[in-house]
Amino acid sequence: MAKRSKVIELEIPLNGEPASNSLPKAQTGISGLDEISGGGLPRGRTTIVCGGPGCGKTMLGMEFLIRGAQEFNEPGVLIAFEETPQEIERNVASLGFSIKNLVDRKKLFLDFVYVEPSEIQETGDYDLEGLFIRLQHAVDTVGAKRICLDTLEALFSGFSNERVLRAELRRLFRWLKDRNLTTVITAEKGEKTLTRHGLEEYVSDCVILLDHRVREQISTRRLRIVKYRGTSHGADEYPFLIDDTGISVLPVTSLEMHHEVSSERVPTGIADLDEMLGGKGFYRGSSILISGTAGSGKTTMSASFAEAACRRGERCLYVGFEESVHQVARNMTSVGLDLTRWVEEGTLVHEAWRPSQYGIEMHLLRIHKLIEAVKPQHVIIDPITNLVTGSAQKEVYSMLMRLMDYLKGRKITAIFTNLTTDSEELEQTDIGISSLTDTWILCRDLELNGERNRCVYILKSRGMAHSNQVREFVMSRDGIRLVPPYVGAGVVLTGSSRVAQEAKEKADALVRSQEIEKKQEALERKRSVLDAQIKVLKLDFSAEELELERMIKQQQSREKQLNLERDAMNRIRSGAAEKKIDSASAKSAGDSK
Amino acid sequence: MKKKVRTNGKSAMAGQPAMKLRLYVAGQTPKSMAALSNLKRICNQHLDGKYELEVIDLIKNPQLAQGDQILAIPTLVRNLPVPIRKIIGDLSNVDRVLVGLDLRGSDRESPKDSPSSAKSIGAGH
């Protein structure tokens, strides 16, 4: 049978919803139990709740009955073999239930079955018809739909004839089934078997195992559905706790992973950090982990996020495990963050308690309850590391995983801070949870030149272009700034070294610019000298040009004059010459003759 | 159905108060009938009539099972003298019935019975 139900577990996705063809269920009303059992206990069938002493068996049975009567209008019967009705009444009253009222209204019937073996002498054949008559009477009185037998095994101590007893038990389970009673039977856990007397042989519909462990003086209760015939159920161990509102079971691993995601961005409260996160900040509903050594500014960073959220009118829940509420508020005023104002206005709910105060699931539950009550848009847990002091690391991881899933499912932005002790191990210790977070911011200290400076960088941020720069985290009365550090010559300088370096650079730059100016002036001078020279040369040239032109003109006019004179000469010569020519011609003629 | 049998014969154990007995049955089952007839025989033999017997049928009065904490049927309850003793079964083992009713007295021979008897005295209720 167990085999078959295992196969079913694998085939059916664990979505917490009862499949349409599955068994009819009776809701327990116990928070978390209905979720992991796929809707409650098998209706009209018997469930065995087993576990060691003090594990909460009776409480589970009682709450099943009380909630059945109060919330689902299913009257119930409690057959108590170990405690008197008065004792039970007192026990459940401490958990906030009043059964007197239910008994008066005939919603609940209590019958105390007292088995004292020393008073009983067996003298022959008998059966347990008396028990059946009492059961029938109880069921008839209130018209019961539910019944709890706590602890049926007490019969084994009362009656020595096991043959008769087992036959009667078989008859009892059939009897319960025939009357369609949803039954819870509590049983002590056996050494090798689930129950000491092997009751699971008779009932195989549903077996729930409770466990109560104490580790390092802090107790943890766990619940596991060992078997649930015909139903897919969470097979893990689920921590549960019993507090003033009864039992709360917390599913360790989320049954589903399809939360709707938001692409809306939420400012971080630090403008420089927004800028590093793609200019807009975190995604709404994402999980953010801020890791860092002591005093590296984790709380300040979370507080400024909270303050900014409150300023926008969004509700914020701040759970502190390190400092008291007032201490955080006082400290944050030193960086200009006034948390008290928002607490007074009710936008910020600030709670603080010691991590060692409870076991891990109690923390988770308290946070859950706060979230349910406050309905915040943002949750800050500062720091999660301190929870480890109370529990084993594995449990913390599984708790955080559940918390993150829960918050994501509700689109609540969650900031977890994490104190790391040694910078070497910084990234190792966080591995378990870092994979769950969407954005991981690391704050670390740099010790250099006799001072310690805070540095911040974003190790990862899913789904956004984020800066890979290491920034210096500077806190002042005016708030927080993330200053780009001096990066050059293979060193990162922060703090006063950065300031000195920056001053030096400034001076150097000044000198350089002055030199440039000087050179430019020289150039300018040279240019004007050149210009002057060119001017002089031009002047010289034009003077020479004029002179030369004048000389050319002179010579030309002289030439002209000469020509004129020659012409005049010629003319003059030609008058005399005519005669001369005549005479000459005559002479020549005569000569020629 | 309540049936009372009251007898005021002379006492076999003088000075002791009368024994008050209640026999719880569930209908007329063979076991119940056997128990009743066995009881009557034992009472006649060993109590010499000095007893008070009430037979309660739980089928008719189921609410009466709670008061005497009846689970097994048939159950014989000795309310008086204190302490209360319960004897379950059809009362076919006469020796055990006598031990259960503290009628063995000094002639109790079976050693295995003594611890149970001693326990019952210590565990008052």
- C-alpha A389/C-alpha A398 separation (Å) is 15
pLDDT band at B106 (very low <50, low <70, confident <90, very high): very low
Higher pLDDT, B102 or A503: A503
CB contact under 8 A, B87 and A127: no
pLDDT digits (tens, 9 = 90+) for A338-394: 888 888 888 899 888 887 766 776 777 788 878 888 889 999 988 887 676 555 666
Give the distance from residue B98's alpha carbon to the nearest chain A alpha carbon, in angstroms.
10
pLDDT band at B13 (very low <50, low <70, confident <90, very high): very low
**Burial bucket for residue B115 (CB in 10 Å: 0-12, 13-18, 19+):** exposed
Give the distance from residue A109's alpha carbon to the nearest chain B alpha carbon, in angstroms.
12
Inform me whether the C-beta atom of residue A115 falls under 8 Å from chain B C-beta atoms.
yes
Which residues on chain A are in Cβ contact (under 8 Å) with B102?
none
Give the lowest-confidence range in A142-151, A415-424, B108-117: B108-117
Which residues on chain A are in Cβ contact (under 8 Å) with B24?
130
Give the distance from residue B66's alpha carbon to the nearest chain A alpha carbon, in angstroms.
7
Neighbours of B2 (CB within 10 A): 11
pLDDT band at A523 (very low <50, low <70, confident <90, very high): very high
- C-alpha A48/C-alpha A206 separation (Å) is 6
Residue whose tokens read 């009864």: A246
A43, A182 contact by CB (below 8 A): yes
CB contact under 8 A, A123 and B71: no
pLDDT at residue B1 is higher than 50: no
pLDDT at residue B97 is higher than 80: yes
pLDDT at residue A71 is higher than 70: yes
pLDDT digits (tens, 9 = 90+) for A235-252: 778 878 787 778 888 765
Give the lowest-confidence range in A141-145, A166-170, A197-201, A422-426: A422-426
Identify the pLDDT of residue A524. 94
pLDDT band at A11 (very low <50, low <70, confident <90, very high): very low
CB contact under 8 A, B89 and A124: yes
Identify the pLDDT of residue A569. 84
Give the distance from residue A72's alpha carbon to the nearest chain B alpha carbon, in angstroms.
27
What's the total number of domains in chain B?
1
Identify the pLDDT of residue B94. 82
In whole numbers, what is the pLDDT of chain A averaged over residues?
A: 81
Give the lowest-confidence range in A309-323, A532-546, B108-122: B108-122
Inform me whether the C-beta atom of residue A425 falls under 8 Å from chain B C-beta atoms.
no
Percent of chain B with pLDDT over 90: 1
Percent of chain A with pLDDT over 90: 14
β-strand partners of B50:
B8
The strand order across the sheet containing A146-150 reads A108-112, A76-80, A146-150, A182-188, A46-51, A206-215, A218-228, A237-243, A246-249
Identify the pLDDT of residue A580. 57
Give mean pLDDT, residues A101-129.
85
Identify the pLDDT of residue A526. 93
pLDDT at residue A423 is higher than 60: no
Residue A487 DSSP SS3: strand
Q: Which of residues 46-105 of B touch A (CB under 8 A)?
A: 58-59, 62-63, 65-66, 69-75, 83-93, 96-97, 99-100
pLDDT digits (tens, 9 = 90+) for B60-71: 888 888 888 888
- C-alpha A238/C-alpha A217 separation (Å) is 20
CB contact under 8 A, B89 and A126: yes
Which residues on chain A are in Cβ contact (under 8 Å) with B72?
120, 126-131, 159
Which residues on chain A are in Cβ contact (under 8 Å) with B65?
130, 133-134, 137
pLDDT digits (tens, 9 = 90+) for A427-458: 545 556 777 788 888 888 777 777 778 888 88
pLDDT at residue B12 is higher than 50: no
- C-alpha B82/C-alpha B86 separation (Å) is 11
CB contact under 8 A, B97 and A118: no
Report CA-CA distances (Å) from B122 to A118, A330, A582, B108.
9, 67, 203, 18
Inform me whether the C-beta atom of residue B23 falls under 8 Å from chain A C-beta atoms.
no
CB contact under 8 A, B90 and A158: no
Give mean pLDDT, residues A461-475.
84
Inform me whether the C-beta atom of residue A155 falls under 8 Å from chain B C-beta atoms.
yes
Q: Look up the CATH number of the domain holding residue B15.
A: 3.40.30.10
Inform me whether the C-beta atom of residue A175 falls under 8 Å from chain B C-beta atoms.
no
Identify the pLDDT of residue A467. 83
* CA A133 remoteness from chain centre: 58
Q: Which residue of A has its CA nearest to B96?
A: A123
Inform me whether the C-beta atom of residue A236 falls under 8 Å from chain B C-beta atoms.
no
**What domains are there in chain A, each with its CATH number?**
2-15+32-116+127-249 (3.40.50.300), 265-484 (3.40.50.300)
Q: Which residue of B has its CA nearest to A114?
A: B69
pLDDT band at A531 (very low <50, low <70, confident <90, very high): very high
Identify the pLDDT of residue B123. 39
Range of the domain at B75: 2-122
pLDDT at residue B108 is higher than 80: no
**H/E element, A221:** strand A218-228
Which residues on chain B are in Cβ contact (under 8 Å) with A124?
34-35, 38, 89-93, 96
**H/E element, A481:** strand A479-483
Give mean pLDDT, residues A23-46.
86
pLDDT band at A184 (very low <50, low <70, confident <90, very high): very high
Percent of chain A with pLDDT over 70: 85
Q: Which residue of B has its CA nearest to A165?
A: B72
Report CA-CA distances (Å) from A420 to A4, A36, A287, A291, A450.
46, 35, 18, 7, 22
Q: Which residues are within 8 A (CB) of A212 and not within 5 positions of it... i.e. 6 or more apart?
A: A51, A52, A54, A55, A56, A219, A220, A221, A222
Which residues on chain B are in Cβ contact (under 8 Å) with A165?
none
Number of A–B residue contacts, CB under 8 Å? 112
pLDDT at residue A503 is higher than 50: yes
Q: Which two tokens stand for residue A70?
A: 């109060």
Cis preceding linkage at A340, omega within 30? no
Q: Which residue of B has its CA nearest to A128?
A: B72
Q: Which of B69, B99, B122 sits opposite A113 (nearest CB)?
A: B69
Inform me whether the C-beta atom of residue A137 falls under 8 Å from chain B C-beta atoms.
yes
Identify the pLDDT of residue A487. 66
CB contact under 8 A, B92 and A125: yes
